[in-house]
Amino acid sequence: MTDAKTREHNVRSGIGDNQFGVKMGDIRTVAKRLKTNPELAEELWATGNFDAMMLAILLMKPKQFTVADLDRLVSDVPYSQVADWLGTNVIKQHPQKEEVRERWMDSPHAFTARMGWSLTAERIVKDPEGLDLTGLLDRIEAEMPGAPKVAQWTMNYCLAEIGIKYPEHRDRAMAMGEKIGAFRDYPTPKGCTSPFAPLWIAAMVARNG
């Protein structure tokens, strides 16, 4: 099932050689055929192979995991793509995700911190009650410049979403984005919104009217 272009793209994305280069659509097709299979998922995850880990995520049953299991899974993540699929398909489906969110934000492990900030971004968008948005902006301003790039990505997502959804914080979020400068020169495909927070916020506010 190897696709040469997919494999080359994965190499350019920093995944390296521990992968077959299977298209994501083909991985989803295999997962639908296999259906939920926690035992096989564990075996695939343990290989460390990119394609196997992506398939494993789709075979997992989130509600079977303990909080300790979630800690282990996140600490095993080797690539951003794996982190994001794990977040979407497992972590964000888990009933105890709020128990780990703030602890993970403080983690020295880059992908664990990325996941904690990703969960916080979800809260900002879907369930902001009880969040200290000013405190979050304070943390982002202080911590984001020195954070690992993979964690900066979801911290930046929090910054942008606060600016987009909360007019009272918009000017500060825009100014912070300019000051921090993260993703200012990030290549943006045609038709996509720039991840540079000031441009992202302005584009989404204009789009939403």
pLDDT tens across 176-202, in order?
A: 999 999 999 999 988 899 999 999 999
Flag whether pLDDT at 48 surpasses 90.
Answer: yes
Alpha carbon of 100 to those of 51, 104, 119, 208: distances in Å? 27, 6, 9, 32
Residue 89 pLDDT class (50, 70, 90 cuts):
very high
Alpha carbon of 10 to those of 149, 173, 189: distances in Å? 18, 33, 17
- Average pLDDT over all residues of the chain: 96
Model-wide pTM > 0.85? yes
Domains in the chain: boundaries: 1-79, 96-209
Element (H, E) at 28: helix 24-34
Q: Which residues of 77-100 are buried (b: 16+ CB within 10 A; e: fewer)?
A: bbbbbbbbbbbebbbeebeebeeb
Number of Cβ within 10 Å of residue 208's Cβ equals 8
Tell me, what's the pLDDT at 111?
Answer: 97
Among left, alpha and beta (phi > 0; psi -120 to 50; other), residue 16 is: left
Tell me, what's the pLDDT at 7?
Answer: 93
Tell me, what's the pLDDT at 46?
Answer: 97
Tell me, what's the pLDDT at 209?
Answer: 77
Distance CA(32)–CA(160), nearest Å, equals 35
Flag whether pLDDT at 97 surpasses 90.
Answer: yes
The answer to whether 10 and 42 have CB atoms below 8 angstroms apart is: no
